[in-house]
Amino acid sequence: MADKKEKMKMLLTIASVAAISIFLTAHLFSRRRRKQRRSEIRCYLHCEPKSQLNFKRVLADNSYSPFNHFNRQSGSVKEKPLTLTHPYEAEITALMEDPQLQFSKIAVDDFDMKMGDSYVWVESELQLSQLARVLSEQTVFAVDTEQHSLRSFLGFTALIQISTEMEDYLVDVIALHDSMGILRPVFADPNICKVFHGADGDIVWLQRDFHIYVVNLFDTAKVCEVLSKPQKSLAYLLETYCGVAKNKLLQREDWRQRPLSDEMVQYARTDAHYLLYIANCLFAELKQQDCEYSSCPDDKFNFVLEASRRSNMICLQLYAKEIDGFPGESAAFSILSRQLNGQGAAAISGETKFQDLVRRLCAWRDLMARVHDESTRYILSDYAIVALSEKVPTTQVDIYGTIIQADLNIDSSNLSSSLPSPSPVVCSHWIDVHELIQDKLGNLDKLFPMVIQNCLGPNGSCPLSVFNYALLMNSSLKLETRLNTKQNGFKNPKHVAKKASRQLFIQKFSCKSPVYHNCRIYANDGRLLCYCDRRKLEWYLRRDLAKLVDDDPPAIMLLFEPKGRPEDEDNDFYIQSKKNICVGCGEGNHYLRYRVIPSCYRIHFPEHLKSHRSHDIVLLCVDCHEVAHAAAEKYKKQIAGEFGIPLYVRKVSHHYNCEQLPRLFCVMDLKCLPAAVMN
């Protein structure tokens, strides 16, 4: 009996050892097989050349290191300044007080309205040096840029258009990327005026790519604001002053391609070629306004000075990388905010399986975009991330199918619909996606070093470049910073980054002065007509159309009978005083304008409804604005489903009555506002 028990124990021991051996062998084989499969998959970048990979050096790489601006004292970027200030702040500030605008009068007969075929294509360093000499002899020249962002993480300038009164130049900055510093002194010369239209983006893009800082700017879009033009788009100015129509669809073309098509050359030349003439016309109007009001001793508003001030304020911007507390953090927050329909930060910060997978995929997408120098939308769309997180596919075929189906649901007018689905990045690294979905990578903190080593390590599958080299060199920096922060008990960098981002948003986009001045306008019989701002009040006073009847707050009485009164239109909107606070929560320190009716619908309204824009504008703080925007997106989808109105409306169908559309949209978007607005 004892022998039998001993034999049973021995058999059980042997069986256990065999089972453990089989399990370990299978596990090791599986790991070896995964490594083998990784090594067999070759990254698509090995056989797909990208134009930016020819750049020998870049000022803004894809690492998490902050951007280093040009140091004028040392003449290089290597020695960091003690404080982050604009290298040409003194010159720009001086121009805001004393504009240096020397426009020569260009007669219509002398200007080439038809824009001939002659232009100069600049593609060599010698030609670039010659262009710099030509520009240094000008008092003013016009500039525009074309960017490429789809196949690049940070984006890059692909073409610069420069026009003088005599010639148009198209600068191939892809071929001359490493030599563009030749133009730096010309753009920074305060004695030469540079004409842009809507320069907010161009200013920081030139800093990012070439350390070119614009000093002495005349922005025609800002001039339109000063002159109270009905529109400030370049298309409007081209049509109004030059009779030229512009095809804006060409802006989406791939400006990396060489040679450019005839249509692209024509489009690129149009902006800068006509901009000088338009700037001359607008400058003449500014001077005319100053002459008209110079006789009024109490009128201290100087139109030329204000146009210069607003333009050069743009020049003071400094480029900065957007760096999250953790890879893909802001993208994940945005996706979850939309999915949870503005339920608040508490709901978003939850750790459901869906939310965790969204964060994982966003982190992986961010890292892959940096490694391959691709935009995140090219790698994996937000729609695909949501679909993968909801369906949790388990096979390669299912992963591909889920991504393809999600991308097919994107509106056809969206650029993403023309992208390969799944992207080459996903196809080259689908095993990563599979392991992320199956939660085989463990803690999210392990994702960063794992991806970097798999892609860029000694046996990595992806090629090194000037864009991702610093990412490899500093691969441990981000993880160590995150771990040290946790161990030392400091605030979660996720929350710190969000707070900093919120403060930056408030500083940049909140209203800089009171929106409502609550000035009053009375009819000649003493009845209140409306509340308005000071500028409207001063307009009547300057033309002797009214007299001042009160100082605090200012009030005027018209000296003529107005065409209509509020009671005639059954509308008391304009005879109500308004507070400069958020209508949702009462916040008074910061607020933004919020349009109740989305602009994608408003553009199709009859003209008489579009003219009274203030009817549907309320003030919301940043937090209430975020909630309202999330709810608006939800109701847009609901309207699209119930009434068959697409989210991207291009033309109002004839079977909708245009007079009924505003009521429909107003009902839709009033639901999006915080409850306090409705009360």
Mean pLDDT by 10 residues, the chain (679 residues): 66 65 53 49 81 90 89 67 78 86 57 80 97 96 95 96 95 96 96 95 96 96 90 91 84 90 93 92 89 58 86 92 83 86 50 86 93 94 93 92 88 59 91 84 74 82 86 59 43 45 62 82 87 86 90 88 68 76 82 78 67 71 81 77 61 45 44 43
Q: Are residues 212 and 302 in the same domain?
A: yes
CA gap 662, 116 in Å, rounded: 45
What's the pLDDT at 160? 98
In contact, 276 and 141? CB cutoff 8 Å: yes
Asked whether residue 399 is assigned to any structural domain, the reply reads: yes
One domain for residues 132 and 143: yes
Amino acid at 371: V
Model pLDDT, residue 327 = 84
Q: Does the predicted TM-score (pTM) go above 0.75?
A: no
pLDDT score recorded for residue 110: 56
Assigned domain for 387 exists:
yes
Q: For 535-598, where are the E strands, in sequence order?
A: 546-551, 554-558, 592-595
Query: Can you tell me whether residue 324 is helix, strand or coil?
Result: coil
The domain boundary, picked from 578, 609, 637, lies at 578
User: How far, in Å, CA of 60 to CA of 466, rounded?
Assistant: 10
Query: Is residue 268 located within the same domain as residue 299?
Result: yes
Cis? peptide before 420, omega within 30° of 0: no
Owner of token pair 């008074």 = 588
Phi then psi for 562, rounded to 5 degrees?
Answer: -70, 160
**145 and 229 belong to one structural domain:** yes
* 241, 116: one domain: yes
Of 429, 452, 477, the residue that ends a domain is: 477
- Collect contacts of 85-89 with beta carbons under 8 A, ≥24 apart: 86/213, 86/315, 86/316, 86/318, 87/213, 88/188, 88/213, 88/215, 88/315, 89/316
From the CA atom positions of the chain, what is the Rg in Å?
A: 30
Helix, strand, coil in percent for the chain, rounding step 5 = 50, 10, 40
Say yes or no: 284 and 169 in one domain.
yes
- Rounded Cα gap, residues 450 and 177, in angstroms: 33
Residues 543 and 589 in one domain: no
Residue 61 lies in a domain: no
Within this chain, do residues 528 and 399 fall inside the same structural domain, yes or no?
A: no
Domain membership flag for residue 503: no
Please name the amino acid found at residue 424: P
Alpha-helical (H) ranges within 146-260 are 184-188, 200-210, 220-226, 234-237
Kindly state whether residue 32 falls inside one of the protein's structural domains.
no
Pair 281, 390 in one domain: no
Alpha helices, H only, 343-381: 345-348, 353-372, 376-379
Structural domains of the chain, count:
4
**Residue 141 shares a structural domain with residue 285:** yes
Sequence-separated contacts (24+) of 452-460 with Cβ below 8 Å: 452/367, 452/371, 454/38, 455/43, 455/368, 455/371, 455/429, 456/371, 459/39
Q: How many CB atoms lie within 10 A of CB 347?
A: 15
| 104 DSSP 8-state letter | P
Task: Please give the C-alpha separations between residue 471 and each of 49, 463, 482, in angstroms, as whole numbers.
Answer: 21, 13, 16
Residue 473 lies in a domain: yes
| Domain region containing 614 | 581-647+666-678
Q: Is residue 77 part of a domain?
A: no
> Which position has the token pair 């290191």?
65
Domain boundary among 316, 340, 358: 316
Q: Do residue 397 and residue 519 come from a single domain?
A: no
Find the CATH number of the domain harbouring 426. Answer: 1.10.150.80
Of 565, 445, 442, 590, nearest to 508 by C-alpha is 590
Q: Are residues 242 and 375 in the same domain?
A: no
Quick check: is 126 in a domain? yes
